[in-house]
Amino acid sequence: GAVVSQHPSRVICKSGTSVKIECRSLDFQATTMFWYRQFPKQSLMLMATSNEGSKATYEQGVEKDKFLINHASLTLSTLTVTSAHPEDSSFYICSARQGRKAFFGQGTRLTVV
> Can you say whether the dihedral through the CA atoms of 21, 59, 76, 55 is positive or negative?
negative
Which of the residues 24 through 83 are near other proteins (CB under 8 A)?
A: 34, 36, 41-46
Cis ω for the linkage preceding 40 (within 30 of 0) = no
Neighbours of 105 (CB within 10 A): 25
CB of 93 to other proteins, least distance (A): 6
Q: Which is nearer to other proteins, 58 or 82 (CB)?
A: 58
**Binding region for other proteins (CB under 8 A):** 1, 6, 34, 36, 41-46, 93, 95, 100-107
